[in-house]
Amino acid sequence: MSDYTSARSTRRPRRRVTLIAVTVAILSAILIGAATIAWAVSRTTDSDRAPGGQASESAPADDSDGQFACPDASVEITTADELEKALQDAEPGDVLNLAPGRYVGEFVTTQSGRQGDPITLCGTGESVLDGGGIKGGYVLHLDGATHWVLQGFSVENGQKGVMADGTTGTTIQGLAVSQIGDEAIHLRAGSSDNQVIDNTISDTGLRKPKFGEGIYIGTAESNWCDISNCKPDESDRNLVAGNDISGTTSESVDIKEGTTGGILRDNTFDGSTITGADSWVDVKGNDWLIEGNTGTNSPEDGFQTHEIVDGWGTRNVFQNNTADLGTKGLGFSLKPERDNVLMCDNTVSGSGAELSNVECVE
């Protein structure tokens, strides 16, 4: 048999999904938001609705150079001090434009925009926020700040890249995040109805490999008492789409228990440097749609689900994903098996690779 075969020819089911489980999971996918499944993430399509059907800020179009065009600036920024002041003083509708250059520091804002009137921080790839070291702090922190657009600039050299706590209606788009001690982009503490789209992420986990995720949604149950009053971190209905993630030491995307109803779509993963995890994607939340993603070079499996807390890690739907494991492993390791659904349009390749531990559904 060829090393590169279709999902159907490599399928070796260990357990048949029951009709009840399939029905529950497919209905769940519909309930992720009837408006969600058709909600487009292409730069050329309408993106003014968030995954949960709530209004989010429209993502800006890219220009002919592949950069994202900044709106007309209300504040021009050329120094780290000017950036700190602008983040402290920002008001709805402000456009903070970063000139090319290196901005060294740990930057934070608690200011919020409004629905339809966000605060925008934008620049080019030559506008670099530099956290000053990989062992402490966040390079850029949205601390309870809502309705922002972060667009087009670079984030480097911090323990964590972009941290969003309690943010809603925010778009993180077109950033280049690299040279990070732990994770690159993290939505946490009830950050819901946001878009993380078209970012380029690389070289994470430089401090501790097991913390080197590309994109991290929610909070591990062991940290709920620190982050979400000992309750699940309900960072829900977030869209993660079109991101190019490589050079991570842990998962490309880690979706934590307590999160619900998000979409992971059309992302590209290269797992050739993963040493602190065993898959590109680990879904421990519920009711996620994982669609159209492409992964290469996995250390073991491609996509996984896990039940870390009773009742979590279920009703997730996987469709039209492509998993090139390189060698052996499961393209889709779904544990618990109940109620997670693997559609038959997923494909897997690799010497000795198998599709899944569950049977796919037409």
Q: What is the pLDDT of residue 67?
A: 64
Q: What is the pLDDT of residue 60?
A: 52
Amino acid, res. 323:
A
> Which residue from 57, 86, 71 is spatially nearest to 146, judged by alpha carbons?
57
For residue 265, what is the enclosing H or E element? strand 263-265
Cα–Cα distance list, 93 to 46, 61, 77, 112, 287 (Å): 21, 18, 16, 10, 34
For residue 21, what is the enclosing H or E element? helix 19-31
Q: What is the pLDDT of residue 14?
A: 38
Q: Where do the H-state alpha helices sit in 155-269?
A: 224-227
How many CB atoms are located within 10 Å of the residue 30 CB? 13
Amino acid, res. 338:
R
Q: Where do the H-state alpha helices sit in 157-273?
A: 224-227
| Tokens read off for 280 | 């590109």
Q: What is the pLDDT of residue 338?
A: 76
Integer Cα distance of 83 and 76 in angstroms: 9
Integer Cα distance of 360 and 355 in angstroms: 9
| Per-residue confidence in pLDDT tens, the chain, 362 aa | 333 223 333 333 333 444 444 444 444 444 444 333 333 333 333 333 344 434 345 455 455 455 678 899 999 999 999 999 999 999 999 999 999 999 999 999 999 999 999 999 999 999 999 999 999 899 999 999 999 999 999 999 999 999 999 999 999 999 999 999 999 999 999 999 999 999 999 999 999 999 999 999 999 999 999 999 999 999 999 999 999 999 999 999 999 999 999 999 999 999 999 999 999 999 999 999 999 999 999 999 999 999 999 999 999 999 999 999 998 899 999 998 879 999 999 999 998 999 999 999 99
Cβ–Cβ < 8 Å for 112, 147: yes
Q: How many CA atoms lie within 13 A of 334 on its CB side?
A: 27
Q: What is the pLDDT of residue 69?
A: 85
Cβ–Cβ < 8 Å for 160, 134: no
Q: What is the pLDDT of residue 110?
A: 98
Name residue 201's beta-bridge partners: 177, 245
Q: What is the pLDDT of residue 49?
A: 34
176 phi/psi in degrees, rounded to 5: -110, 110
Cα–Cα distance list, 212 to 64, 171, 198, 295 (Å): 33, 22, 19, 17
Q: What is the pLDDT of residue 138?
A: 98
Integer Cα distance of 311 and 270 in angstroms: 30
| Tokens read off for 235 | 């960072």
Q: How many CA atoms lie within 13 A of 140 on its CB side?
A: 27
Q: Which CATH number describes the domain made up of 33-286?
A: 2.160.20.10
Length reported for the chain: 362
- Show me where the domains of the chain are located: 33-286
**Count of helices and strands (H, E) across the chain:** 5, 31
Q: What is the pLDDT of residue 5?
A: 29
Amino acid, res. 32:
I
How many CB atoms are located within 10 Å of the residue 174 CB? 27
